[in-house]
Amino acid sequence: MPITIKDVAVYADRQRSHALLRDIDCVFPDDRSLTLIIGKSGSGKTTLLRTMAGLMPIGSGNVYYDELPLWNNRRLNRAALLRSSVAFQFPEHQLFARTVQGEFDYSLRPYRLPRPDKQRRISAALDGQHLPAEFLARAPFTLSGGQKRRVALASVMATEAPWLLLDEPSAGLDAKSVLRLKQELVQWKERAGIVLVTHEMDTFLSIADRVLILDQGQLIADLKPEELAANPQVLLETGIGLTSHMELAQSLREAGLPVPEDAVTPEQMADVIERELRGEGLSTDPESPPAPAAFPALHKPHKLNKHTSTSEDKAGNGIMAKRHKKGLYSMDARLKWLVYMLISAGIILQSRWAGTGIAFLCAVFCMYFLMPEDRRKLLRMSKPLLWLMAVTVLIAGVQLHGGQGTGGRGGIGFSFVSAGDTFRRLLLFFEVTIVALIFTLSTSTSAMKQGLAISLRPLKRVGVPVDMLALSASLVLRFIPLIIEEADRFSTIARARGKRTSRGGNLDVRDIPAFVIPLLIALFQAVEEWILAMEIKGAALLELQPASLGRDKRWEKLALITGITIFALLFLIRIYDI
Ligand SMILES: Nc1ncnc2c1ncn2[C@@H]1O[C@H](COP(=O)(O)OP(=O)(O)OP(=O)(O)O)[C@@H](O)[C@H]1O
């Protein structure tokens, strides 16, 4: 049952101007193999894995499981979808059920199995993860981190799908657990094909059958591990870097040892080292191959695509990537607070349609002109808010009539006045959120706190708890993008586990616990970690002067003028009651 990826392109936007994957063409043959997908950060590995799992809408081309297309027009083909099972990074975060049995039930529900078959698969999966059957009655939240991970992997394994798609399964594991995972993968390989995204080549190369290298959203090499070991230049050219085993092989060759060119593991080099240590002097053997001066590149990487994102986009867990950006990103945080307050105050003042509409245009203007680099991200983040608004407006408009005055019969109607009023109020909230997102996406939490704390410093003398206030305000603001990103992550996981087939990725009502519970846990955890980190860092940061940050005076002036102009405009609109 091979997987065939045919001419696939995936875009970040409807206009297809930002390609995440391009010209992907490859076949994963049905040979119980383990394929590694490697590439530097942001090269598109996770996107490719998600595309194979039907979690990313395809712009062009298609993925086939055997002969079954994954996409039929705009809908996913359930039969194809059931042929793969996905484990996301940190799979233990996806647990939500009251018991471990509940986790299995949820993952296996789309397969509609007869009870005995289901129980057999669950037992086999528990065995495979060295978990006792008594675990089925345990609450996942009472388990240790390692046990949670094994339960989550067991729930993936229990599907017995012919293809396992794993995204960095070794992330966060200790050395012993990584070794055990490796052994398990070797066993899994006997029953299923495995596609594994990883940065840990040292760990997995020795058990892999094939390596795909991605760069800038394109597949640039398709090699056997031995071929990669013999031609590691491609790893240097793509910025992935050599594995420590390859570096060892190179050092040994430079020392004159005849290490085979295709040696992938230290074990394969051990024989040569041993003979050298015994003084058998193989290095002086005239027949032995000389160390290659330079490795030939197997595939020349394609030219860089200026539209695809750089690794910087992905850094920092996606919340606030570390970047060396100019403009708004390098502005004094105190000034940003001021501009944010001015614009938000102007928006909140509005009580009529015209003012709300003009405030909306101002928010859009800020998004386009003050936030050029993260505009796409911002648009993506605002999507769930727009959906929430649409649903709320619909609900607000629904009116239930009693029996009186309607001839004794109740009924249902829709009030455009009521829906419109709700829409206007929500639009103000949306506008303030957009401005807050512009602020938070361009400012780190510590800079935000620092900016506010320094601005409010005079109030300290009259006993105002400025530090606490600054910390709370920054956390509340930083929380908005975090909620949106985490909601995105957990809805994708719930969709993958529930095997949803709609293109928009709508969740079923039954998926709500699988979505909401991990989301809340992740958010609570994030808040806890933030508060701790900020408390630790807070005192030291306050000693820093914002002037020491890289600043761009032109942008500061522009942002200040924008803020004051928008506030003045919205204030006048309110005064003249437009
Ligand atoms: N839904 C999306 N919309 C817009 N951009 C996206 C989306 N998903 C991913 N990207 C961008 O596509 C690029 C590739 O992301 P991807 O997660 O596939 O990289 P990766 O190779 O797995 O990186 P890492 O090794 O850091 O996990 C990144 O720049 C990312 O910001």
Q: Whose CA is nearest to atom 2 of ligand 1?
A: 12
10-residue mean pLDDT series, the chain (578 residues)? 92 83 91 90 94 91 92 88 91 89 92 93 92 92 88 92 92 86 89 92 91 94 90 87 83 78 75 71 47 38 36 37 56 80 88 90 82 73 80 85 58 85 90 84 74 75 73 70 80 85 68 83 77 60 46 74 88 80
- 412 Cα: distance to centroid of ligand 1 (angstroms): 46
CA distance 65 to 81: 8
What pLDDT score does 404 carry? 53
**Ligand 1 binding pocket mutation candidate from 10, 11, 167, 309 (most atoms within 8 A of CB):** 309
Ligand 1 atom 26, closest CA = 41
Determine the pLDDT at residue 551: 56
Return the pLDDT at 410: 65
Residue found by looking up tokens 């996107």 in the block: 47
- What pLDDT is attached to residue 174? 84
Residue whose CA lies nearest to ligand 1 atom number 16: 44
Please name the residue whose Cα sits nearest to atom 18 of ligand 1.
Answer: 44
Give, for ligand 1, the residue of 46, 322, 383 to mutate: max count of ligand atoms closer than 8 Å to Cβ: 46
Name the residue with the closest Cα to ligand 1, atom 7. 12
- Ligand 1 centre from 447 Cα, in Å? 26
Residues with CB under 6 A from ligand 1: 12, 20, 39, 41-47, 309, 313-314, 380
Strand order in the sheet with 34-38: 84-87, 163-167, 193-197, 34-38, 210-215, 218-223
The per-residue pLDDT for 407 is 54
pLDDT of residue 210: 94
> In this structure, how many other beta carbons lie within 10 angstroms of the beta carbon of residue 465?
12
**Could you identify the atom of ligand 1 that is nearest to the CA of residue 48?**
18
| CA-nearest residue, atom 17 of ligand 1 | 46
pLDDT given at position 389: 85
Per-residue confidence (pLDDT) for residue 516, from 0 to 100: 82
**Can you tell me the distance from the alpha carbon of 88 to that of 237, in angstroms, rounded to the nearest whole number?**
28
Dihedral, 356, 362, 363, 367 alpha carbons, nearest 10:
160
Q: What pTM, to 2 d.p., does this model score?
A: 0.66
CA separation, residue 465 to residues 245, 462, 481, 541 (Å) = 55, 9, 26, 17
Identify the residue whose C-alpha is closest to ligand 1 atom 1.
12
Question: How many whole angstroms from 232 Cα to the centroid of ligand 1?
Answer: 25
Give pLDDT, residue 138. Answer: 92
